[in-house]
Every structure is written in C-alpha cells, then in structure tokens.
C-alpha cells in the first residue's frame, strides 16, 4: 500500500451487518479503527478508517467489509438503472488504486487471479438481479485484466453490488467467509445465535479484563466465545467464562466450541436455581429461550421471572446483563419484578424475525 500523507486520506469502506446493529457496529468501527462514520442505512455502515490495513478484518459486529467503489441513492426501479450501474462502475472508481489496496491486504496470488461478481438485490425493480450483474460486468469491462479467470469458487477478488430499493453500493470485498461464519464455531444447534449478534451483545456489555461473564442458558456457547474474542481481538485481555444449560447435548456442543478458544467452566444446571454465590458475576449474556423452537408448551413468563431473579442475585451491584428475546414485553415485566432496570434496548431482525436486545442493571 502506498504510504499515506495527511493529504491522502484512506479509502472509504463499507460494512454489512444485521439490520438494527448499525449503531453498535459504528461504535466498534470508530473506536477500533479510529474511523469516521460517513453514513448508515439498515444493515450498512459506510466509513473512512484512519489507516486501512488488516485491522479492518478484526471487526466483530459486522459480517463483511468492502472497499467502496461507488454508492448512490438515485436508483429508480426502472430499466435505466442498468445504464447507471454500468456507467457508474466504469467511470466513478479508481479501480487500479482499489485493486492495489486489495492486493496489499490480500497479497496477489501466484499465477492468474480468479474473480467473481456478487449481486444482492431487494425491492420491486423491473429488472432481474441477473441483468444488474451483467450491467456490473459491462461497467467493469477493461478494468479487469483480460487474463484474469472468471471463477465460481475461491475467487481471489470479489466485486459486489448491493441494491436495496433506490440505494446501490458497489465495492471490492476485503473480508473472507471466516468473518461471517467464525472458524471457532464448528458445532451448531437449532436456534443457535448468529455470531455477529452475539458480538454486538458482548459489545453492549462493556466488557473489561478479568471480568466474570456468565451465560446461564448457554446453548452452543456462542455468546461466551464471542465475549472472549471481543476483548482479545481488541487486545484488552481475558475474561473468566462460566456457563450452563439444562440440555446435556447443548453443553457438549458448547464444550467443543469453546475448547477452540481456551475453554470455559460449564455446568449442567437449571437457570432458575443457579449454584453460584450472591454477587459473584460482573456480566450476564443470554439468548433467552423464545420462538418456535423453545417457546412451545413453555410458560415463558414463569421461566423469565424465576431466572431473572437468579440473575439479579448473582450479579454484582455494578453489573450488567444483556439479554436477547423476541418476547420483549414478557422480559421487561420479569426484569421489573426482579429489580433489574432496562438501560438500553436494540431491535434487530434475524432471518426476518424481530428480536430485542435488552441491557439491564440492578437497581
């Protein structure tokens, strides 16, 4: 990458996340990369980092990061958009510069590079995604070296175009699939949390080195793992992780996953009767049972009331709990009864389903 001078700001980037997490992702991006946030839209954060290097791949509350080629909110849903896409792709970006930055972050492979085009499209446009993809390809035209191979898998370079209603954004993907899927989480369970949501909950919990972090219904262990990585990847030390679940299979899954990250203390227990001392925990993170998989036939109100009372008992006076549920009203009621006060609430959409992330403090 060419050395930067104060007159040469780093190139702009954008990150994709789960709709609802833009504010948390923006906070991580600006604190971790010293970045200026240029704009946000549902599931999208556009930013300019102080310096652009591999640190951008250490972000945890986003699923993909790109170098910005161009962006617009001037689409019309009509066929003329295809001309715009072709023209903007051909004329707006400095492709040689963007490709040089990409190669600095992902060194150019030996031999001929393979490339791929990805187009995401949502909204009632008169044209199909395939037509938008062809317009992107025409716009790229001579910017792609004639010897580069067009490959479907393991491409070295991916050009992405995301169209959402009147908005379109185009860039070069910097992240690999590991950013979204996380290599540490090899074992999965039904209703298991998306790692990026777990990371956002860990961010909300304001973790600090040496803290005791509890997930009383830990499932596959996603929250405990992401909590550890949130601190570690930002170079801020280690946590003491404790978790438990009623389900032995869940515990085994959590044990296997967390083994990849240095382990955790895991127990089979009922979250309504935690075998833990009063005021022994700094932070609680929990993806509460809710929805189709865990909700049917259960009295969630009673489960929440009793387990929240236990959370309140084991939490230190300055502690924090960050909980995820689709049953926000039930959770608020149980929190009130347990003398836990909501201090923040974030609505997210996961696989089309709304859920709420609630931050609670003891009162």
Ligand X SMILES: C[S@@+](CC[C@H](N)C(=O)[O-])C[C@H]1O[C@@H](n2cnc3c(N)ncnc32)[C@H](O)[C@@H]1O
Binding site for ligand X (CB under 6 A): 189, 191-193, 217, 219-220, 222-223, 245-247, 250, 270-272, 287, 289, 294
Q: How far apart are CA 202 and CA 195, in angstroms?
A: 10
Nearer to ligand X, 175 or 222 (CB): 222
CA 274 to chain centroid, in Å, comes to: 30
3-state secondary structure of 126: coil
- Selection from 49, 58, 46 nearest residue 10 by Cα: 49
Per-residue DSSP letter, 311: H
Tell me the HSE value of 93 on the side-chain side, using a 13 A CA sphere: 31
Q: How far apart are CA 348 and CA 46, in angstroms?
A: 19
Smallest distance from the beta carbon of 227 to ligand X, in angstroms?
12
Residue with tokens 């993909």: 64
Smallest distance from the beta carbon of 335 to ligand X, in angstroms?
17
Smallest distance from the beta carbon of 94 to ligand X, in angstroms?
42
Nearer to ligand X, 155 or 217 (CB): 217
Nearer to ligand X, 89 or 204 (CB): 204
Nearer to ligand X, 248 or 277 (CB): 248
Nearer to ligand X, 35 or 284 (CB): 284
Chain residue whose CB lies nearest ligand X: 219
- Selection from 299, 283, 288 nearest residue 245 by Cα: 288
Per-residue DSSP letter, 65: E
3-state secondary structure of 263: coil
Inter-CA distances, 353 with 262, 300, 350, 356, Å? 33, 18, 5, 10
Burial 268-306, CB ≥16 within 10 A → b, else e? ebbbbebebeeeebbbbbbbbbbbeebeeeeebeebbbb
Nearer to ligand X, 20 or 219 (CB): 219
Smallest distance from the beta carbon of 192 to ligand X, in angstroms?
4
Nearer to ligand X, 75 or 251 (CB): 251
Smallest distance from the beta carbon of 215 to ligand X, in angstroms?
7
Smallest distance from the beta carbon of 271 to ligand X, in angstroms?
4
Smallest distance from the beta carbon of 174 to ligand X, in angstroms?
27
Per-residue DSSP letter, 155: -
């Amino acid at each position: 990458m060419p050395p930067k001078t104060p007159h040469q700001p780093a190139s702009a980037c954008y990150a994709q996340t789960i709709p609802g997490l833009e504010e948390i992702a923006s906070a991580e991006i600006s604190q971790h990369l010293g970045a200026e946030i240029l704009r946000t839209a549902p599931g999208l954060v556009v930013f300019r980092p102080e310096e652009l290097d591999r640190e951008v791949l250490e972000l945890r509350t986003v699923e993909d990061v790109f170098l910005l080629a161009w962006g617009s909110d001037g689409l019309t849903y009509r066929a003329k958009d295809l001309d715009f896409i072709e023209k903007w792709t051909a004329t707006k970006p400095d492709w040689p510069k963007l490709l040089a930055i990409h190669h600095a972050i992902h060194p150019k492979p030996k031999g001929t590079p393979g490339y791929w085009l990805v187009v995401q499209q949502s909204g009632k446009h008169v044209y199909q995604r395939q037509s938008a993809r062809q317009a992107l390809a025409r716009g790229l035209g001579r910017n792609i070296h004639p010897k580069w191979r067009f490959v479907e898998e393991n491409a070295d370079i991916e050009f992405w175009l995301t169209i959402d209603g009147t908005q379109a954004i185009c860039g070069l993907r910097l992240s690999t699939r590991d950013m979204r899927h996380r290599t540490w989480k090899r074992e999965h369970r039904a209703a298991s949390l998306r790692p990026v949501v777990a990371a956002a909950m860990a961010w909300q919990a304001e973790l600090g080195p040496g803290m005791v972090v509890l997930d009383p219904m830990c499932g596959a262990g996603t929250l405990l793992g992401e909590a550890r990585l949130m601190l570690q990847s930002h170079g801020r030390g280690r946590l003491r992780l404790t978790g438990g679940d009623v389900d032995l299979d869940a515990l085994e899954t959590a044990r296997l996953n967390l083994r990849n990250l240095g382990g955790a203390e895991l127990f089979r227990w009922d979250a309504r009767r935690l075998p833990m001392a009063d005021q022994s925990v700094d932070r609680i993170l929990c993806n509460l049972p809710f929805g189709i998989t865990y909700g049917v036939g259960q009295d969630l109100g009673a489960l929440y009331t009793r387990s929240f009372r236990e959370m309140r008992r084991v939490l230190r006076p300055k502690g924090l709990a960050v909980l995820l549920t689709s049953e926000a009203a039930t959770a608020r009621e149980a929190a009130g009864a347990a003398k836990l006060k909501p201090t923040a609430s974030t609505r997210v959409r996961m696989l089309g389903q709304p859920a709420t992330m609630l931050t609670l403090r003891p009162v």
